Amino acid sequence: MSLIEVNNVEFKYHGQTEPALKDINLRVEKGDFISIIGANGSGKSTLAKLLNVLLRPDKGNIIVGKHNTKDKDRIWEIRKNVGMVFQNPDNQIVATMVEDDVAFGLENIAVPSEEIRKRVDHALDLVDLSQYKKHETHKLSGGQKQRLAIAGIIAMEPSCIVLDEPTAMLDPQGRKEVIETIQFLNKEKDITIILISHFMEEASLADKVYVMNKATIKMEGTPAEVFQEIDYLRDINLDVPIVMEVANGLRKKGIKLPNILTIDGLVDSLC
């Protein structure tokens, strides 16, 4: 059984004539790292909210584990399995001290105190914030705040974390910190990651990429497969990782190169 199955899903916001999502199908397996890309208004964030039951589909079904997101009695159980991290970390931080913020969700579901202490320490260790547990949250950098938001989700012990543009408001250093944390959680801790991003370099780190346009999924494949479609991606107002654009330009000049995703890979191939 897949961790998440999205079957023929459609969703329309109240008062809108056109659906925000239509005929959406995807499957997420345990341990996957998936990126979802698309221009503004393509439906990425709506899909993220459906996965976390902030919204429910008008048509079709989303199955998380063995539970349908339309089942109102299973909402909290589903949300414990699929955690959500949003774009602005300030909107997710609710406590004045770092460790209290991580503990907040656990306290609300009546986890015993000893277990809370254990989970808070573990979560902060995983995002490399243990040394800041007694710090005031408003004094953290943007990247640290977003890692704190991720720690709060980790403490709930989800099978999957959905991150909706988690680095959009961060400087380059903050982006680097958050992406390294995401990769560590996926590769070392086997936490399933669904990353929604408009940074193509981030999307290229995933195992599989879904491309959305006009409320539906238009393309799916490995990063190497998807980012070879440079002309199509440009047509729908998406960028291409610079290294792949350079490699494509070199191929047009007659230089034979394999599918390349990284600068190191390009350097090695040229050498």
- Indicate whether 149 pLDDT > 80: yes
Q: Are 181 and 152 in contact (CB under 8 A)?
A: no
- Within a domain: residue 27? yes
Output the DSSP codes for 182-214. Answer: HHHHHHHH--EEEEE-S-HHHHTTSSEEEEEET
pLDDT band at 228 (very low <50, low <70, confident <90, very high): confident
- Within a domain: residue 171? yes
Number of domains the chain is built from: 1
d(CA 198, CA 212) in angstroms, rounded, equals: 11
Characterise 37 by phi-psi region: left (phi > 0), alpha (psi -120 to 50), beta (else). beta
pLDDT at 4: 96
**Mean per-residue pLDDT, 92-105:** 94
- Within a domain: residue 12? yes
d(CA 239, CA 261) in angstroms, rounded, equals: 14
- Within a domain: residue 253? no
Q: What is the CATH number of the domain that holds 74?
A: 3.40.50.300
pLDDT at 124: 95
pLDDT at 68: 96
pLDDT at 12: 96
- Indicate whether 154 pLDDT > 90: yes
- Within a domain: residue 50? yes
The amino acid sitting at 67 is H
Characterise 93 by phi-psi region: left (phi > 0), alpha (psi -120 to 50), beta (else). beta
- Residue 41 CB neighbour total at 10 angstroms: 14
Number of H helices, E strands in the chain: 11, 10
Residue 271 vs residue 49, higher pLDDT: 49
- Within a domain: residue 238? no
Residue 14 vs residue 247, higher pLDDT: 14
pLDDT at 187: 95
- Within a domain: residue 269? no
From residue 257, alpha-carbon distances to 20, 225, 250, 268, 270 in Å are 39, 14, 8, 10, 8
Q: Tokens for 52?
A: 């976390």
**Mean per-residue pLDDT, 76-83:** 90
Average pLDDT, the chain: 91
- Within a domain: residue 249? no
**Mean per-residue pLDDT, 60-68:** 95
The burial class, CB within 10 Å (0-12 / 13-18 / 19+), for 249 is: exposed
- Indicate whether 248 pLDDT > 80: no
Domain hosting residue 16, numbered range: 4-222
pLDDT band at 224 (very low <50, low <70, confident <90, very high): confident
pLDDT at 230: 85
